[in-house]
Amino acid sequence: MSDAPEHLVRSYDIQLKRLRDMLTEMGGMVESQLAMAAEAIMNRDNDAAARAVEEDPKVDALEHEVEQFVIQLLALRQPMAEDLRRIVGALKITSDLERIGDYAANVAKRSVVLAQYNLPYSFAGLAHMASLVQEQLKSIVDAVGTSDTAKAVEVWRSDRVVDDIYNALFRELITYMMEDPRNITPCIHLLFIAKNLERIGDHATNIAETIYYAVEGEVIPDVRPKGDTSAYANIRPKE
């Protein structure tokens, strides 16, 4: 764009900034969805659950808006190199954020069933997992706004802890189910809630990879942490 008149360059910068602002706005929305969903579980707060679910169409609408804006930018600006990677990256980030919103809404829905049970165990593991994932999400939304690759890599690395808690929780919940069939339905919902949180963490790491690639033009030079191993878990009842 170096040959373009200055006012065109300026309006281009404004458009790129607007794209980033749309993403951080969307990020803020899914952050608050997740906060409401966590609140709904921890405090049996059905109103918070309803609000988290109600946010979903707004998040979807914003995703559609970002997509439209990206297509417009590509058509009008014909961006190159880093700008092009950023604009294409925005498309990936908006899709990850939309999925995070879906998972948060699903957590909120399940909290409504959970609120009907007196659960015989504490939510300590789940609460820990939820707060870690909320931190991950906050950090990565910040990193989107500032193109902070160091922060992105930090989020990417931190996902390992979330996966470890998930794998432990998976086994723990199964043992509760085995102890008393009345625990089965609530524990199934807790399992899916934990899985949703784990997936939110995965999407945060996807966003980290996208930020890094947009800025550096190459992938994060490291092997991705191992992740959810619960697919191989085989827990049997005590004889």
Of 82 and 135, nearer to a copy of itself (C-beta) is 82
Does 161 contact a copy of itself by CB under 8 A? no
137 binding a copy of itself? (CB under 8 A): no
Among 42, 50, 84, 215, binds a copy of itself (CB under 8 A): 84
| Residue among 9 and 113 whose Cβ is closer to a copy of itself | 113
Among positions 175-204, residues that touch a copy of itself (CB under 8 A) are: 177-178, 181-182, 184-185, 188-189, 191-192, 195
Residue of 27, 29, 62, 110 interacting with a copy of itself (CB under 8 A): 110
Helix/strand/coil (H, E, C) string of 58-111? HHHHHHHHHHHHHHHHHHHHCCCHHHHHHHHHHHHHHHHHHHHHHHHHHHHHHH
Among 113, 120, 131, 226, binds a copy of itself (CB under 8 A): 113
- Would you say how long the chain is, in residues? 239
What whole-number distance in Å separates Cα of residue 104 and Cα of residue 196? 7
Q: State both tokens at 40.
A: 């709904």
d(CA 77, CA 12): 8
Non-local (6+) Cβ contacts of 212 within 8 A are 149, 152, 153, 156, 218, 219, 220
Selected from 92, 128, 138, 160, the binder of a copy of itself by CB under 8 A is 92
- A 10 A CB-CB count for 182 gives 13
List residues near a copy of itself by CB under 8 A.
67, 70-71, 74-75, 78, 80-81, 84-85, 88, 91-92, 95, 106, 109-110, 112-113, 116, 174, 177-178, 181-182, 184-185, 188-189, 191-192, 195, 231-237
